[in-house]
Structure 1
Amino acid sequence: MESKQFQTPIEYLKGVGVSRAEALKKELQIYSFDDLLKHYPYKYIDRTRFYKIKDIQPDMPYVQVLARVTQKEILGEKHSKRLIVQAKDETGFLELAWFQGIRWIEKTIIPGKVYIIFGKPGFFNGKAQMSHPELELYFSGANQQKGNLTLQPAYNSTEKLKQFSLDSKGIQKLIATLLEQHAKDIHENLPLYIINRYRLMNRQEACRYIHFPDNSNQLKEAQYRLKFEELFFLQLKLLKNKLLRTQKFKGNIFDKVGNYFNEFYQHKLPFPLTNAQKRVLKEIRQDTQRGVQMNRLLQGDVGSGKTVVALMCMLLAIDNGFQACIMAPTEILATQHYETIKSLVDDGFIEVALLTGSVPQKARKAIHHQLEDGSLHILVGTHALIEDKVQYKNLGFVVIDEQHRFGVEQRAKLWRKNIVPPHVLVMTATPIPRTLAMTMYGDLDISVIDELPAGRKPIQTIHFYEAQRLRMFGFMKQEIAKGRQVYVVYPLIKESEKLDLKNLDDGIETMSREFPKPQYQLSIVHGKLKASEKEYEMQRFIKGETQIMVATTVIEVGVNVPNASVMIIENAERFGLSQLHQLRGRVGRGAEQSYCILMSKEKLSNDGRIRLNTMVKTNNGFEIAEIDMQLRGPGNIEGTQQSGVLDLKAADLTTDYEILTQARNLVIEIFEKDPHLAAPENQLLNQAFQQKNGGLSWDKIS
């Protein structure tokens, strides 16, 4: 349990005060004692060993030596004044230099005494040197040395904080003061049976040793304890939400498979379902028969057939007397889903309508009327679906596509459109690394479509440098001659002075020159066009009237042209991995071999090279997502920012998969035996949980 002491505002800690507190709040979001305690070091400097002077190498980051000062002198005049100190051990000499605070430092150094000298080494004329080292008088065998012979913590700070003397050292002092005064107020929040089972360090020690470890074993134990605790309480919250929801919210029972589903499956399905699609349908079918509201996340790579699965689930709802809807984040994507569904079910089979911001008022009224009298089976649209005016007769199944683009409140509105909450299927084509799925979507059941439909050939990805541009043009001409179409994607519209990028305007000019009319026709699409203009250009490409679509990333989601077989990405090094993967997924939708060409400049950063090599090496979205998370960190993966879930202080999702799995499995085990945390051994857990979460929100749907 956390003591109330740690909720104390940071200005009341000795040595902080009002102005420093303001800076800490603004720069590092440190508002309370607890926030400061959880401002963990980002690295540790090894002060546990001493080097001999002769062993010092110029490439060492920091070294610590024990040496006797032999002489000191101030040299130079005014601005060039410096303090030079000579020190030696039995293996050689070391020169120390200061250019600031000279008078004060000179007074404190006593020739003939032995000092602990710590700093970054350098060499001048073959002699070892250190500028502005830390110096501490050495007392042989005395306890005072304890302070420095440790792993020294290094803390994140900012330029602004340094003006308040709150660099890494300044923050270290504040944390030392906090622990000195309040370590006794750090109480245990895990029951003894968990501590014993996982051999966890006690909480008070862990909080002390993560900041001031004496050795690396102590540090490892402290880190493990705090990571485990953090991930454990996160999983406790997510799985408790899930448990409460299944207890509180009854779900509509889809107990029959009727004409709509069977007719579609037997006569309208354009290709056989993959085993992965069958498995997911079975999971959803079981969910909708349990009498509990379903909340399931469906992950599947671009082109893996998620929309067909979603449609079949919606047909199941219709068979059981319910309506269904599918909500997408953009008009392009909503229209895409509408077109796909219409082409699959053809006219007269079921009633499907599209509702977006640009639907005229008259058509809108007709849709509202059909929804209310129940004659409309499936409504596809953008967030226009959650407007108050949109009322359903009996909404039973909701599909939310690319849900990270919607806030919790928007989803909850859709959820309240029926007395018994509808079943919810959340779909994403952005593959999510395992650890992220277990934290961001830990309270949803997860299904994965991990195979492509039969007959789809894997896309071949090639990386070309600028010097190979003519080869790229030649390849485009070959493919167009075969009757295929090509996308060319640019990162920017207008030339930016700061970024040397191939921009769209230049690109259009180059393409028009290289692919002249009337032999070739171009479509041009970017974010500054009006919706109607964009739609017109898209339609020309979809109908095959143009062979090349030159575009910015507006085509990242929601364009389905089976005849397009080449995706060219200009300045590919400027795109993130998940974006490159999404763009590549725009081709390879027909039976023909498709290609993705990544164009880049010759000089690449290390991360840029890793991204492009990864794309060439694999088509597996999950593999790509794992590498993306290692490069960018979990907090920057699309969607995690707005979810607020990933405010992790100790744990790191890129490296702590095993601890996360242990913590999640333990929570599942505890809830199976004691769903209300009412058993005597779980009292402490229940109290800590209530305190951390301050009551639970019932509006949360994912």
Structure 2
Amino acid sequence: MATLGDRLDHILGAKAADSLAEAFDMDTVEDLLRHYPLRYATQGQPLTEEEPEDGSHITVIGRIAKTELKPMRNRRGSLLKVMLDTGAGRPVDVTFFNGDKVKYVVKEGLRAMMSGTVSYWRPGSWNLSHPGYLILPETEDDSVGTFTRVRGGGDLRGLAESAKGAGGVDVSFMEREFIPVYPATAKVQSWDLLACVRQVLEQLDPIDDPLPERTREERALMKISDALRSIHLPESRADIDQAKERLRFDEALALQLVLAERRHEVAGRTARPCPPRTDGIAAAFEKKLPFELTAGQQEVIGEIASDLSRVQPMHRLLQGEVGSGKTIVALHAMLQVVDAGQQCALLAPTEVLAAQHYRSLRAMLGELATAGELGAADQATKVVLVTGSMSTATKKAALLDAVTGEAGIVIGTHALIQDAVEFFDLGMVIVDEQHRFGVEQRDALRAKAKSGTSPHLLVMTATPIPRTIAMTTLGDLETSTLTQLPRGRSPITSKVVPRKQHPNWVDRAWERILEEVGAGRQAYVVCSRIGEDEEDGGAGTGRGGTVKGGAAKSKAKAAQEKEPPTTQAAVEVFDMLRAGPLADVRVGLLHGRLHSDEKDQAMRAFNDGDIDVLVCTTVVEVGVDVPNATVMVILDADRFGVSQLHQLRGRIGRGAHPGLCLLITDAAPGGSAMARLTAVAGTTDGFELSVLDLRQRREGDVLGSAQSGTARSLRLLSLLDDLETITAAQDFAREVVREDPGLDKHPGLASMMRAAVDAERLEYLAKS
């Protein structure tokens, strides 16, 4: 007999267990039984007097009346044409594409079972193309019979092999209505997995159900033993549905137990409280604001202020539309911490964004950001910037201000995480566009707080990526949401430009930019890559300032390539535009491989209106604020993700004039890429787009570091479609953890939690 915790090599033998471990990282019986079927195949309907429907799946048994090998017309190889006499009307025509191989098994006079999809060549004439097949033993009554030697091909052969026991092939198993089909590999086929699952289930001991009977009855859930058997070997569609419902709840509960334990642990940490003051820098900042905060901003500021006043560290996500005013809210929180005599660190993903934050925060604070300078306000603090490319002297000065406490606000990129960066008293960490940072990086910055304390944490995002939605939906973070746009924001219209179908529309895009520039406004042209010579870092060096006219050197280089890239590079587009359609306006270039001084020079020139059109890469994706920019052309838009497109588009329409975003693409009209672009163009609702992103990419590994859909700890649960299940599991998990924080009284639930997330993931989650 076997239990869920038994090793597979003890049950299946070393050879099978090693194959499963190598292919799927399976070690225990539970690992195998939690590898759920991808779908269920049926053996199809038997042949009747009526003609089957085109595309239907049928299974027929008969005698091979005729075979004929014919050469293929348009390529090498042969077809094997077979006539199968089923004894029910006309014979069934069957075609095998690998005729030279099949002819040695499929011979006239033999009995066979064939299962495949019906194809009609013309009305009344149908065929089975390359079906699965089995050669059957001869019996007196034409029954299938029992046989030990498996001869056949396709799914039927695999199924027969999996149904083979000591006494031969279990024919009754092959007649099941639902046959599980598993995620498989080239070395471990679905039928191999099925054979292993059947062997394990035959030996499995009864399982103690970790869910209390009361909970199962309230939600009409199967016992776990029944669910695991029914998911693999269902007798009916109802079995499948009920098993999935139970196992889906278990997935939600396992994750909610992890998160409930984590919330309990975070609640036990200590932070330095930062209660709001009426006479400090935060109050002075509110008084000097030249505009009124939206009701949403005021509400979120209140939520954060309440969190910061507690001795438990804040752990909050601030999400809001592009341009909804998250920076003002974050700055108010930082000033509340500064009022408490502590420091704040603002972590930005790029130097462009860090510099933009530095300039905008100093501009908003005015004399309140000039501590130590003549004319500084009494409550003033100091704001410093730390980036990797700063000069040594400038960086040393900034680091000195951080370690002595002179700087209340320290803004930086990954450079803030370096060991050389120390803080006098770090009270809060703000992570902008948090999906651009790994958990380890955030943890390294939070570790710079004084020993025995944890800094408050605020993470911000304009378009939640799938993993963020997952964590938020699962209730890991307290969430604040800004839905209102501040006054002064203008609407943005987005259009998809199919370049192959309408090349003249691209010319119109450049004309549209000229019209806006002629009206005194500015534009972005965004490219997906830098240039042909970006490998050596030399592309565009020294070309970040204002230019007009010029020769297209990189264009000549691209022409020499044997296989030129299919996307347009920023350097080449820059040359093409300033020598061609935009020759009469001022064109600038900005990308990540420029020296920091050149990047800053280009961005300042665009800010000051000395550049009309900025050709750039995604370095402008977040945080860049030029209210006079009204047009954005995104080349090869299908190469960008949904979140990126929404972030980029948010750089326009930030002033008094409406924005226009043109998404230029070569994507096929009916393809998924075009559908994605059409959806982005159809809405400016970032939360609606995040749902689209989640549906396309799936949730990712919500308890691990993977943020794509390739590694998923969720097998059946959908964070979009199963919110009611998640909510019910959350309520149950929090109640259990509140009464039994270590789950000492609930060993079954503790085991369920460990099965959902291993030690490495738990360590990862503890840092996040």
Q: Distance in 2 between matches of 1:273 and 1:202?
A: 54
Go from structure 1 to structure 2 and tell me whether the alpha carbon gap of 1:85 and 1:612 turns closer, same or farther (over 3 Å shift): same
- Among 63, 70, 94, the alignment partner of 1:69 is 63
Match of 2:599 in 1: 534
2:235 counterpart letter in structure 1 = D
Match of 1:379 in 2: 410
Q: Distance in 2 between matches of 1:119 and 1:698?
A: 47
State the SS of the aligned residue for 2:706: helix
Q: Distance in 1 between matches of 2:356 and 2:88?
A: 78
Q: Distance in 2 between matches of 1:314 and 1:431?
A: 23
1:118 counterpart letter in structure 2 = S
Are the counterparts in 1 of residues 118 and 126 from structure 2 also a CA contact under 8 Å? Answer: no
Are the counterparts in 2 of residues 297 and 446 from structure 1 also a CA contact under 8 Å? Answer: yes
Q: Distance in 2 between matches of 1:564 and 1:637?
A: 37
List runs of 5+ in structure 2 lacking aligned partners.
137-141, 147-169, 371-379, 533-557
Q: CA deviation at 1:500?
A: 2.9
Q: CA deviation at 1:102?
A: 4.3
1:236 counterpart letter in structure 2 = L
Q: CA deviation at 1:123?
A: 4.3
Greater Cα shift, 295-304 or 116-125: 116-125
- Among 443, 456, 460, the alignment partner of 2:493 is 460
Are the counterparts in 1 of residues 271 and 456 from structure 2 also a CA contact under 8 Å? Answer: no
- Among 676, 684, 688, the alignment partner of 2:748 is 684
Q: CA deviation at 1:331?
A: 1.4
Match of 1:580 in 2: 645
Match of 1:306 in 2: 326
Tell whether 2:284 aligns with 1:263: yes
Greater Cα shift, 491-500 or 652-661: 491-500
Q: Distance in 1 between matches of 2:423 and 2:195?
A: 61
Are the counterparts in 2 of residues 588 and 594 from structure 1 also a CA contact under 8 Å? Answer: yes
Are the counterparts in 2 of residues 432 and 622 from structure 1 also a CA contact under 8 Å? Answer: no
Are the counterparts in 1 of residues 494 and 661 from structure 2 also a CA contact under 8 Å? Answer: yes
After the TM superposition, which residues 663-674 of structure 1 pair with which residues of structure 2 at under 5 Å, given as runs?
663-672=729-738, 674=740
Go from structure 1 to structure 2 and tell me whether the alpha carbon gap of 1:206 and 1:699 turns closer, same or farther (over 3 Å shift): closer
Are the counterparts in 2 of residues 191 and 685 from structure 1 also a CA contact under 8 Å? Answer: no
Q: CA deviation at 1:396?
A: 1.4
- Among 397, 404, 409, the alignment partner of 1:366 is 397
The count of corresponding residues between Structure 1 and Structure 2 is: 681
Greater Cα shift, 269-278 or 666-675: 666-675
Structure 2 length normalisation: TM-score? 0.81
Go from structure 1 to structure 2 and tell me whether the alpha carbon gap of 1:692 and 1:41 turns closer, same or farther (over 3 Å shift): closer
Tell whether 2:205 aligns with 1:184: yes
- Among 160, 167, 170, the alignment partner of 2:192 is 170
Q: Which whole-Å deviations, capped at 9, do the CAs of 1:604-661 have from their partners, x for residues lacking one?
A: 3431222222122210000011112222222299996259994222323343333223
- Among 258, 278, 293, the alignment partner of 2:313 is 293
Report the aligned-residue RMSD.
3.4
Match of 2:336 in 1: 316
Are the counterparts in 2 of residues 322 and 394 from structure 1 also a CA contact under 8 Å? Answer: yes
List runs of 5+ in structure 1 lacking aligned partners.
none
Q: CA deviation at 1:3?
A: 4.0
Are the counterparts in 2 of residues 53 and 89 from structure 1 also a CA contact under 8 Å? Answer: no
Match of 2:139 in 1: none
Match of 1:274 in 2: 294
Q: Distance in 2 between matches of 1:635 and 1:375?
A: 42
Go from structure 1 to structure 2 and tell me whether the alpha carbon gap of 1:646 and 1:592 turns closer, same or farther (over 3 Å shift): same
Match of 2:479 in 1: 446
Go from structure 1 to structure 2 and tell me whether the alpha carbon gap of 1:686 and 1:636 turns closer, same or farther (over 3 Å shift): closer
Tell whether 2:232 aligns with 1:211: yes
Tell whether 2:429 aligns with 1:409: no
Go from structure 1 to structure 2 and tell me whether the alpha carbon gap of 1:211 and 1:97 turns closer, same or farther (over 3 Å shift): same
Are the counterparts in 2 of residues 49 and 149 from structure 1 also a CA contact under 8 Å? Answer: no
Q: Which whole-Å deviations, capped at 9, do the CAs of 1:555-614 have from their partners, x for residues lacking one?
A: 222322111111111122232211111110111221221111112237334312222221
Q: Distance in 1 between matches of 2:680 and 2:129?
A: 46
Greater Cα shift, 446-455 or 39-48: 39-48
Q: Distance in 2 between matches of 1:637 and 1:358?
A: 34
Q: CA deviation at 1:388?
A: 2.8
Tell whether 2:198 aligns with 1:202: no
Tell whether 2:510 aligns with 1:473: yes
Structure 1 length normalisation: TM-score? 0.88
State the SS of the aligned residue for 1:184: coil
2:706 counterpart letter in structure 1 = Q
Match of 1:357 in 2: 388
- Among 579, 583, 604, the alignment partner of 1:513 is 579
Q: Distance in 1 between matches of 2:704 and 2:294?
A: 29
State the SS of the aligned residue for 1:379: strand
Q: Distance in 1 between matches of 2:464 and 2:600?
A: 28
Q: Distance in 2 between matches of 1:157 and 1:677?
A: 35
State the SS of the aligned residue for 1:210: helix
2:520 counterpart letter in structure 1 = G
Q: Distance in 1 between matches of 2:598 and 2:758?
A: 51
Go from structure 1 to structure 2 and tell me whether the alpha carbon gap of 1:456 and 1:81 turns closer, same or farther (over 3 Å shift): closer
Q: Distance in 1 between matches of 2:523 and 2:739?
A: 58
Greater Cα shift, 369-378 or 74-83: 74-83
2:196 counterpart letter in structure 1 = L
State the SS of the aligned residue for 1:122: strand
Go from structure 1 to structure 2 and tell me whether the alpha carbon gap of 1:102 and 1:208 turns closer, same or farther (over 3 Å shift): farther
